Amino acid sequence: MSQIPAQAAQALILAAGRGERMRPLTDTCPKPLLTVRGQPLMRYPLDALARAGFTRVLTNTAWLGGQIEAAFGDRLSYSHEGRDFGGALETAGGIARALPGLDKVFWVVAGDVFAPDFEFAPEAHARFSGSDALAHIWLVPNPAHNPKGDFGLTPDGYALNGAGPDGTRLTYSTIGLYRRALFEAPWCDIPLGNPAGLKAALAPLLRKAMDAGCVTASLYTGAWTDVGTPERLQMLNSSI
């Protein structure tokens, strides 16, 4: 990591993506710094984490990552994938890279998702910490751009690598609680700290853990937008 925090971080905000679908806006501005209702998109989860008492936050960066560090300074610690490896390492690769600076249990949230009412509840953190699960993820009703969804949900709160008992799948909100163990052997074969800068997606790792019954989930029905296109950004800013 470029900057290892003095104390293990309680949360990781993902901010390394290029934001191709958001071009040309992201040609000169990283997507997490695009303004939504008067403030940078990434500030919403950062402030919500702080309100819940999770003040030790790490972020990974790549495209125009220097702008993110300039915007938030020492309020965050940083894993600069772009500086260290020339580009983003994808989600699992980025988490593996940041792992030496993360707590045994930590929040993960995408810096380009707008969920202003989501609560990073200490009670949820404590409940997950006391469980045997490797991850607890929040699922949302399927948006128009992902009508088939991602994962199923059982009545007793387990995420499924496939449809739920009712035949439906829900969309992963990119908000979750994770245990370090999921990114270590035998679940993940990337060495600690990802010294080679290996790229790896998160979904295959989650599906593997789901098949073993190690991922729990909750349904979140509050306001939620994957701010992936200029049209969605405009929609948010025009509906204040």
- Tens of pLDDT along the chain (240 residues) come to 555 566 899 999 999 988 788 888 889 999 999 999 999 999 999 999 999 999 999 999 999 999 999 999 999 999 999 999 999 999 999 999 999 999 999 999 999 999 999 999 999 999 999 999 999 999 999 999 999 999 999 999 999 999 999 999 999 999 999 999 999 999 999 999 999 999 999 999 999 999 999 999 999 999 999 998 989 999 989 976
* In-domain check, residue 1: no
- The 3-state DSSP composition of the chain as helix, strand, coil percent (nearest 5) reads 30, 25, 45
- Strands of the sheet with 135-140, listed across from one edge: 77-80, 57-61, 9-15, 102-110, 171-179, 135-140, 215-219
Q: What is the pLDDT of residue 21?
A: 84
The span from the CA of 225 to the CA of 233, in Å, is 9
Asked if 10 and 103 touch (Cβ cutoff 8 Å), the reply is yes
* In-domain check, residue 2: no
Q: How many CB atoms lie within 10 A of CB 202?
A: 22
Q: What is the pLDDT of residue 240?
A: 61
Number of domains into which the chain is organized: 1
Pairing between strand 35-36 and 39-40?
antiparallel
Cα within 13 Å of Cα(21), Cβ side? 10
Q: Give the range of the structural domain holding residue 102, as residue numbers without chain letter.
A: 9-238
Q: What is the pLDDT of residue 25?
A: 80
Pairing between strand 35-36 and 77-80?
unpaired
Q: What is the pLDDT of residue 56?
A: 97
Global confidence as pTM: 0.94
Q: What is the pLDDT of residue 26?
A: 85
* In-domain check, residue 4: no
User: Where are the strands (E) in 81-235, listed by range?
Assistant: 102-110, 113-114, 135-140, 152-153, 159-160, 171-179, 215-219, 225-226
CATH code of residue 179: 3.90.550.10
